[in-house]
Amino acid sequence: MNAIHTSSLALALVALPLGLAPAVRAADPAPAPGDDARVDLAAEAPAAEPAPRTLADIFTWRDAATGSYVKPVLQLSSSVVGYYPYSEGNDALADRSSTLLISRFGIEGGAFDLVRFKTVWERNLGYNINRNGPLGTSIWEGTASFSTRETFIDVRKWGFTLTAGIFSEPASVDFTSAHVLDMFGMDPFVRDPLLQSGANLGQGVMLRYDIAGVSIGLTYTGGNPLVTSLSGSFGGDVTAAGSLYDAPLRDLSSGLPGSNISVDIVSPSVTFQKDFGDFSLGVRAAAQYYFIDADVTQDKDQPLDGFNYRFSAQVGLLDDMVRVFGGYSRRGNRQLAVPDLTKYKDDFEGRTWNVGVDFNYGDFGIGGGIHSVRRLLGDNTAVDTTYVNVGATYWIVPGSVAAGLRYASIAWDKLNITRVYTDAETIIGSLRLLL
């Protein structure tokens, strides 16, 4: 019998916001009451040709009278990956190829144009550069590794939306090429720079107000650092056990992550999305504020705080045949003089930027982008990382089934750091289903 492993670890960093999915295919909104089609029996004109339907349309149940709907969520991507690592410290690294699979499944629905719910699970990819690339070891001997994705309920009234559960904060994810999401953004070439720029998938509550294409929001997350993906981008060590993300994992007790660290994160945000005909504009901006107690069992440790300011924008031209996008983020936080938690050392600083473009024509598209990440660790040490992704997509069934081909690379540049990093290039061929 398959064992299902669900943990905050998988949620915090292995997971990446499902907020990426709309770049591939937008979700179907629930119809308003009374929107069901009406037929004039007296009309002599021939019936209009039915609009193209996606697989999601076919499998969605709707009740227009009550504004309710239920539909399955299914995303599946199977890939053949060629991985080519190279390192100054190890000339013997071998190239390798792997066959990988990632899938997501769940259910989404809404009722009375008031309540919406969604719960999604993911069969993990098994791809980690730090473990020498695409291992494909999410499943072995009949045992699969699963994690919880978005699982939330929200209530909408008078322009306000209150969301509670596990969700992706909409303003926290950079606009990204739709043609590099063949693994739904879960490979390190796409996932890691998004996390460093502030992608927030985690447990919490979010209140938003929508008016004329503008959405103003406030999100709160609190508890163990592993309840949010934002923990992975907080700089420096917070205890002798490691960083905000590593420390709870290295302090396991009865198989559970350590609970001595407490984090509170507050994030005001604003998004804007509007279609002007042949021209469209999207903007996402957020401020993320960290408040951390490195050891809740004693009061002598110094409190930690930090911030991340992020902005991303996208312009669509020629009815979205061309999409140009870019983003920037800047972060900083205090660092403790570990192992002495009563003293501070130099602050951590970081920044990211990205640019990219997509071209779409009919069922074919090509696009990509560059992400740059800089981390200033203090004591005149720094790490720069550059991610490049270029991909092409052909929609076999428009909006539902696609084949893709992608080139991706990661390159490191370090200052006064002895650790050896592994650069890598990869070629990915994929076949994916979106339902």
pLDDT tens-place values along the chain, 435 residues long = 444 443 443 433 434 443 444 444 444 444 444 444 333 433 444 445 555 567 777 888 888 888 899 999 999 999 999 988 887 767 777 788 888 889 999 999 999 989 999 999 998 887 665 555 666 555 555 556 778 889 999 999 999 999 999 999 999 999 999 999 999 999 989 999 999 999 999 999 999 999 999 999 999 999 888 889 998 888 887 777 677 877 777 776 666 777 788 899 999 999 999 999 889 999 999 999 999 988 788 877 788 899 999 999 999 999 889 999 999 999 999 888 777 777 778 888 999 999 999 999 999 999 999 999 999 987 778 889 999 999 999 999 988 999 999 999 999 887 766 666 778 899 999 999 998
Return the domain boundaries, the chain: 8-24+54-434
Under DSSP, is residue 190 helix (H, G, I), strand (E, B) or coil? helix
pLDDT of residue 353: 97
Under DSSP, is residue 55 helix (H, G, I), strand (E, B) or coil? helix
Location of structure tokens 């792997």 = 98
Pairing status of strand 340-361 against strand 146-157:
unpaired
Torsion sign (Cα): 11, 14, 17, 21: negative
DSSP assignment of 207-244 equals: EEEEETTEEEEEEEEEESGGGBGGGGGS-SEEETTEET
**What region, left, alpha or beta, does residue 133 occupy, with left being phi > 0 and alpha being psi -120 to 50 degrees?**
left
Residue of 97, 138, 100, 182 whose CA lies nearest to 4: 138
Residues contacting 190, CB < 8 A, separation 6+: 16, 176, 180, 181, 183, 387, 389, 408
**Both structure tokens of 408:** 């991706």
Q: Domain 8-24+54-434 belongs to what topology?
A: Porin (2.40.160)
Amino acid at 241: A
pLDDT of residue 52: 55
Residue of 311, 314, 265 whose CA lies nearest to 285: 311
- Size of the chain, expressed as the number of residues it contains: 435
Contact 214, 269 (CB under 8 A): no
